[in-house]
Every structure is written in C-alpha cells, then in structure tokens.
A and B are shown apart, each in its own frame.
Chain A
C-alpha cells in the first residue's frame, strides 16, 4: 500500500512511517500543509494519513480541496482534537476515518489497512462474502460453513460481516466498537472479546481450521490460516 503521511511533528512522523514500512507499506511524508496538498494531488496514493493541525494549510482544508477536485483517496485524520463536533467536521470535509492522539500504532495500522480494503470493495457490489469454507449471504442473511447453516443473532451477524469484509486485515477492538456497534466510548473491560469469543464458538468450533484469530496488542483478524497475507498473526 502506498501511504502518504502528512504530519508536522517529526518524531511522530518517523515513528509512524517506520512502523508502516515495517508492515510492508511504502510511506511518503510531508510536514507542510501547502506542499502536502500539491503532492497528494499530483501523486497517486492508496491512503492519506492527515494530521489536522498543520503549518500552512490545515488538514481539513487539504482534504476539502482534494475532494473538491475529484480526488477519492481514502483519508484517515489524525488529531488531538477529539470531540464529537470535530469528528463530524472531519467527516463532512471528506475524511473517511478519524483517530485521536495519542493512539496505539496497531490501531493506526489496522484502520489504514481497512480503508484501503474498503476502497477496493466499493468498486464491486457483492451479495456474498466468502473466506475458505465460510460463506455469508447478505441478501438472505444466512451463514454457512462447510455447507452447514450457522444460526447467528443479528449483532453476531453484523460482527461476522465486518470481519469478513476486512478479511486478512487486523481490526482493532475500537474499530469493532465503532463500526459494528456505532459506539464511541472506551470500555475498560474487553466486552468485545466476549462477543468475539461467542462468535468463535459458533463459527470456529468443530472445524479444523479456525478462521478468527487474535492478534496480540492489536485486535482480531479473520483469515484462512492456509493463506499468507499482510500482517503478522498467530492462531489464537
């Protein structure tokens, strides 16, 4: 994935870009708003990571301008400004996701990869999601594994759908809480873990290959362990 990181703090910039490179992505960085806008408009990137508070032109303006000129590259805002109004502002300007500093790197990585994936997925309309022998029928609201039907509660269905849509990529607990439950708070207890655990009971139990894996320090990933994909993971 080609990533453009627009961040004026040099330490954060180097820390994030190094991390991303080690995860196998190409990273360009820029600390000035105006120059970054030019670069983002002329170069072709898969994901833009944009800090809101920049010298020159602020992140919001950069994204508005890009969107105005027809650029549809997914944008993830990074910022210390975390209240609801700011988040809404970011989305209205054309951003796709919003991450509040300080953040865990794994969170950043997971979300960036999810954005990239989403972009690809938007081009085609699917009615069915499939990984290995697990299939999910979006129209009929049916889940089958190895031919056998799995009964899922509505929330469990949504959870599985999200994991499938992001198959092969790490999804963090925060992402799940935000995207599946549409909640924006931080639970102390890992409630998500329990829900995942119940889902696993239904989806993985009794099958040779577990599909839902835990990624320590990051989150979860739904993946066919037989395949090699981006991101290091351990079967959990």
Chain B
C-alpha cells in the first residue's frame, strides 16, 4: 500500500488570499518587478542607442547626397534654358545680383539698386525688339523688380507687376549687353558663394513651393524631407507632416520622428517615419532643414518604443501572475507542512502530506518527510508493541516472584532453598531487563555513534575461542572456517560479540548431544557471508517469521530457560549494521548473515 493511499489527512484547498498574503509572494513579486524595472531601463537606453546606431550610418551615407543636392541647387545655371523663364530661373537669377562681399550692407544695396534703376529708366526706349529679346528683358526686369521689391514698392507705391511692365518697355536695347555682362560677372561670383548665404527664408519658400516639379527632379530623391522656418521660427514650408524633433542626436543632425505616420493626402508630403536633416542657416536668419528619410529603418526603430511600452505595461501584470503561481507552490507546501506538524503534535502519527507527484523539488521533499513520518509511525507502534510485550513478559516472572515470596512468608523454614530460587528469578528478570534495554538502544540507532573499523575475523575468532570448550563439554563437534586475512567492517565490535554469542548459545541449547555445529566466514566480491549451521531441530516454517520478535519462544521450547530476546537482539544488531540475516532449515538450523563490502 502506498503512503499516499494510507494518508488520512485530507488537505483543504489553498485560498488565494492566503497566497497573496504570504511573504513568498511578496518577495517573488518584488523580485520580478525589480527585474522588469531593470529591463525597462535597459530598453530605454537601447532605444536611444539603437536609433543612433541605425540612423547615423544612414545619415552619413546620405550626407554625401545632401551635399550633392545642395551643390546642385547652388550650381543651377539659370541661363541654360532660354525658352522659358521658370520660377527656378527667377529664383536663381535673383541670386546673381547679390554679392555678399559688397552687398551685405543694406544701404549700399539700396543705392545700388536705385542707381541701376535710374540708369535703366533714364535711357529706356521702346524700339522694336525681337521675340527672344523681349523675354530676356522681361526676365531682367522681373529680376530687378524682385530684387528691389522691398525698396521699390516703398518708393513708388506701385505693385510690382505694373512696374515690371513699365520697365519692360523702357529698357533700351543698347543696355542689354551691359546688363548681360553684369549678369555674367555675377554668375561667376555667385558660383563661389553658394546658396545658403544669399537666400532669404520667404524667398526660398516661395521658390521651393513653386518649383516643386523641377525641384523634385533636381533632387532626384523620392524620400527627402525638409523644413523651412523663417527668421522668427515660423514654419514657411515643410513636408514633414506631424512630427517632433527628438533629442537623440547631439550632432549636426536633427532627428525628426513623425508622430502620425499615416499616408498624407498630398503626395508631396512624405509619410516619413524617421528623418535625419542637416540644418542650414540662411542669410536672413531663416532655417532650412533638409535630409533623407528612413522608412524601413524607421519601422524597426518605431517598434522599440512600442515594445517597450507594451512590455512595461504588461510586465506588471505578468509579474503578478507568475509570482502568484510560484508562491502558490511554495505556500501550499508550507501550509501542508504546518498542518501535518500540528496534527502530529496533536498525537496523530498517521498524518501524511499529500504529494504533488511531479517529481520536482517539493515532491521529493514531501516524499522524504512522509518517509520520516512513516518511520516515526513505525517507532510509535513498535513502542506500543514493546511496552505491551514488556508488560506481559515481565509481569509473569514478577508474579512468580511474588508467589515465591508469599510462600516464603508462610513457610519461613524453607527459607534456605527458597531464597536461592527467588534470587535466580530476580537475576533472570535483570537479564531480561538488560536485554530489553540493549535492544531498545540498538533499535534507536544510537549505537551507531560508537562505530569503528573492526575486523570480523578477529571477532569471530575470539568467540570461537571462548565457546570451543563449551561445545566440547556438551559433546558437540565444532568446526570452523575463517579467512586468512582480516575482513574489515564498520561497526561496533561489542554488539557483534553479543550477536555471535546469542547465536552460539542457541546452537548449544538446541543441538542435541553428538551433533555438529559448523561456523564459517567467507569473503567474496559481493561481501562476506557468515554461516552457522547446527544439526538441531531447526525452526518450523510457520514460526520462521516470528522468531525475531521479542519474547517469542517456539511452541515446544516454552519452558526453556532464556529471555526469548536473543534473536531479537541479533536481528536488531544486523539491521543496525545493514547486514541482513536469514534463517533456513537444512539438516538443522542455518543462519546466514551477509556483510556488505566495506568501503
């Protein structure tokens, strides 16, 4: 029958509240939360460094492209196309008339424009022009107009278009060349200057806005993002949609992350996830930001904060659940243990703990504890049995003693003979008592403390030497066979002497005269075998099991002298040392004790 079936304790269910209130749960939960906090922190750091790690190389790569782009814009030749005057041309043309080294000074610029204007107005003529000429003039006029817009408007109060028309008719042909030369000069100088310094924000915005088509060709990039802010920071033009600059980079790059990455209506605006833009400060304080966008990389990078948030959010919940589950196993075990202890203290030795049965750590621990409880149970019932036996088997001689003393009282004249009988009885009782004590001692395994390395051959030899004369006197032949060298064993030599003595006493007692007793000790690979054979009557099969019990006497030997404890002690000694004993009938009684290999 398995221990589990025998368990009488029914385990009540474990309440959730009990688990939540347990220290195990608290500690486990805190542990998890700590781990999550650390992971969360790590993820934050990761995001930052991952973004940098991913985007920077791309940005570096794009840097060249940005430079090229800006170069392109800077070096556009406005006079290449004579067929149309595009906005680009106007914009670019406007550039050639500004020379930073001379025209940074606004006063000078005003005067210059006015002078130029006067010159043109003063000598205008409306002579006939060729078709191409007409357009060129127009171009120049518009350039001038745009250039001097701020100033001219103030002066004349005329809208620019009207003024331009006026101008167109007035510029004499003969000044075209001079103007052309002038333009040419400015073109050369303009090449060195580059774009940024000469632009104003509004201008750039207007031009970019107007020159979308060409500019995009010019840019040759699909996913370029830019933002143009005026001198006071107002947004003039942007295709970034809803986005916020982030502070991940402290380099020359500004990192924009779109917050609403859905597709925009206008396909001019890109659905950029991440943009890395370089900043260019324009002449009037405006800010142009321009750079590539990273859609694919951005996908991944956008994931990180999402994962992080989801993880941190769910982490708390997961910690709670995991802690609960883990704590429950431990708490259940502890609660069961407490209950079993309480039950045991209340006197219930049959109590056992229910096993989880999963072969885990707790299962093993519970198994060990149940085994211990089983042993305790066994001890208690042995104790009960023993006290019962003792009560019975000590009462008998004591009763006899009382009878003898009573007789003595009534017949004081027979004191001489009676006293001796009484003394014999008392000595017998003492012997019984001592034997019982010794058995109890051996069974409680206390004697293990005095174990040493002993030589079995020496012990057997000593016993043989002691008993040989006795066998001789009783007319029994006594043969023995012992190994040559020592047979080492870990145990108590006194106990083995006692055991052998008891066995030899029995052989003497029960082997009829003329019989034979053989003793041998044989060593082999498996261990050492002790054998004691006699030619006595042996033990009936039905009583074989019982002979080791306390006070058990074979039916036919009830009257014999002796305590009935001899074999009990032998069995206890054998068990203590882990050397099993077997009895058999083979022409008499055969006793086998197997000593396991030493070491």
Chain A residue contacts of B562, Cβ below 8 A: 188
Chain A residue contacts of B473, Cβ below 8 A: 194, 197
Q: Please tell me the number of chain B residues within 8 Å of chain A, measured between CB atoms.
A: 36
Q: Helix, strand, loop or mixed for chain A's interface?
A: loop
6 contacts between A and B (CB under 8 A): A102-B430, A184-B497, A185-B495, A188-B509, A195-B469, A217-B423
Contact of A84 among B437, B466, B494, B504 (CB under 8 A): B494
- Asked whether, in the complex, the Cβ of A217 is within 8 Å of the Cβ of B494, the reply is no
- Asked whether, in the complex, the Cβ of A186 is within 8 Å of the Cβ of B430, the reply is no
Least Cβ distance of A191 to chain B in Å? 5
Rounded to whole angstroms, the CA-CA distance of A82 and B434 in the bound complex is 10
Closest to A84 in B: B450
Rounded to whole angstroms, the CA-CA distance of A187 and B502 in the bound complex is 7
Contact of A183 among B420, B447, B497, B505 (CB under 8 A): B497
Other CB < 8 Å A-B pairs besides A183-B497, A186-B498, A188-B502, 4 of them?
Answer: A184-B497, A194-B470, A195-B469, A216-B420
Closest to A184 in B: B494
Q: What string of 1s and 0s marks CB contacts (under 8 Å) between B450-472 and chain A?
A: 10000000000010011101100
- Asked whether, in the complex, the Cβ of A102 is within 8 Å of the Cβ of B433, the reply is yes
Rounded to whole angstroms, the CA-CA distance of A109 and B433 in the bound complex is 21
Chain B residue contacts of A181, Cβ below 8 A: 462, 466
List the 9 closest pairs (A to B, CB-CB), nearest first: A185-B498, A188-B505, A84-B450, A194-B470, A187-B501, A189-B505, A185-B497, A194-B469, A184-B494
Q: What string of 1s and 0s marks CB contacts (under 8 Å) between A76-112 and chain B?
A: 0000001111000000000000001011100000000
Q: Please tell me the number of chain A residues within 8 Å of chain B, measured between CB atoms.
A: 24
- Asked whether, in the complex, the Cβ of A186 is within 8 Å of the Cβ of B431, the reply is yes
Least Cβ distance of A186 to chain B in Å? 7
Rounded to whole angstroms, the CA-CA distance of A216 and B441 in the bound complex is 31
Tell whether A155 is near chain B: CB-to-CB under 8 Å: yes
Least Cβ distance of A151 to chain B in Å? 16
Closest to B429 in A: A102
- Asked whether, in the complex, the Cβ of A188 is within 8 Å of the Cβ of B469, the reply is no
- Asked whether, in the complex, the Cβ of A85 is within 8 Å of the Cβ of B450, the reply is yes
Rounded to whole angstroms, the CA-CA distance of A60 and B593 in the bound complex is 39
Tell whether B427 is near chain A: CB-to-CB under 8 Å: yes
Q: What string of 1s and 0s marks CB contacts (under 8 Å) between B534-574 and chain A?
A: 00000000000000000000000000001100100000000
Q: What string of 1s and 0s marks CB contacts (under 8 Å) between A167-205 and chain B?
A: 000000000000001011111110100110110000000
Tell whether B393 is near chain A: CB-to-CB under 8 Å: no
Least Cβ distance of B389 to chain A in Å? 19
- Asked whether, in the complex, the Cβ of A104 is within 8 Å of the Cβ of B427, the reply is yes
Rounded to whole angstroms, the CA-CA distance of A217 and B416 in the bound complex is 13
Contact of A83 among B446, B502, B509 (CB under 8 A): B446
Given contacts A102-B434, A189-B509, A197-B473, is CB(A83)–CB(B498) below 8 Å?
A: no
Chain B residue contacts of A85, Cβ below 8 A: 449-450
Tell whether B492 is near chain A: CB-to-CB under 8 Å: yes
Chain B residue contacts of A100, Cβ below 8 A: 434
Q: What string of 1s and 0s marks CB contacts (under 8 Å) between B418-442 and chain A?
A: 0010011001001101110100010
Closest to A183 in B: B497
- From A187, A198, A216, residue with most partner B Cβ within 10 Å: A187
Rounded to whole angstroms, the CA-CA distance of A195 and B431 in the bound complex is 22
- Asked whether, in the complex, the Cβ of B437 is within 8 Å of the Cβ of A191, the reply is no
User: Of residues 294 to 353 in B, which have CB atoms within 8 Å of A's CB atoms?
Assistant: none
- Asked whether, in the complex, the Cβ of B450 is within 8 Å of the Cβ of A187, the reply is no
Tell whether B508 is near chain A: CB-to-CB under 8 Å: yes
Chain B residue contacts of A82, Cβ below 8 A: 437, 441
Contact of A191 among B470, B492, B502 (CB under 8 A): B470
Given contacts A84-B494, A181-B466, A217-B420, is CB(A186)–CB(B434) below 8 Å?
A: yes
Chain A residue contacts of B508, Cβ below 8 A: 189
